[in-house]
Structure 1
Amino acid sequence: IIEELRVEYEGRAAVLFIDVWKHPEQGARFGVQGIPTQIFYDAGGREVGRHVGFLDKESIRDTFAKLGVR
């Protein structure tokens, strides 16, 4: 889902996947407590949303829309 969204939103939103098993320091850096965790940032780099657990593609699209990503 993340890879599909990365392609779909290219040039409009940065969609990144970090494998915290391979990069545990990044998990600590972003305060990841459970896997998967989706963290949403606004254009200024401020965290505006966080979800722990599975999140379907449509829910992620809805969050992007609420953040003004078209």
Structure 2
Amino acid sequence: MALEITDATFDETVLKSDKPVVVDFWAAWCGPCRMVGPIIDQISEEYEGKAVVGKVDVDANQEFAAKYGVRNIPTVLVFNKGELVGRQVGVAPKNVYTEAIDSLLN
């Protein structure tokens, strides 16, 4: 399962990570988010120890969604060394997310 990230833990979990970080901004009421969720959970298991994979519930945690301009969900952001390096808005195939991580691991 992907890590639950909140406004309170975002800085420590995402911005200070020494590994690539994938963050899924989602909400329980969002249909497309329910399609992306299982993909993010799979990636979390496959990249355990190599990357941080987490989810932010935008209804409960709005600070970083606003800071990074997340206006549509699902939006998946990719961070490396605290910098935003990738953004995928809407549903995408699993390989779109894994290729983003792989490019940072090589």
What's the TM-score, normalizing by structure 2?
Answer: 0.57
Q: Greater share of helix residues, 1 or 2?
A: 2
Which of 29, 50, 54 is 1:16 aligned to?
54
Alpha-carbon offset, residue 31 of structure 1: 2.2
Matched, 1:51 2:88: yes
Say whether 1:39 aligns with 2:77: yes
Residues 3-55 of structure 1: CA deviation (Å, up to 9, x unaligned): 1111111110000111112323342233211101011111x111111111112
**In the alignment, does 2:102 pair up with 1:65?**
yes
The unaligned stretches of length 5 or more in structure 2 are 1-38
Distance in 2, Cα, partners of 1:25 & 1:46: 17
Q: Which runs of 5+ in 1 are unaligned?
A: none
CA RMSD in angstroms, aligned pairs only: 1.5
Deviation at 1:63, TM superposition (A): 1.1
The residue type paired with residue 22 of structure 1 is: A
Q: How many aligned residue pairs are there?
A: 68
SS in 2 for 1:15: strand
- Whose strand fraction is larger, Structure 1's or Structure 2's? 2
**Number of the residue aligned with 2:44:** 6
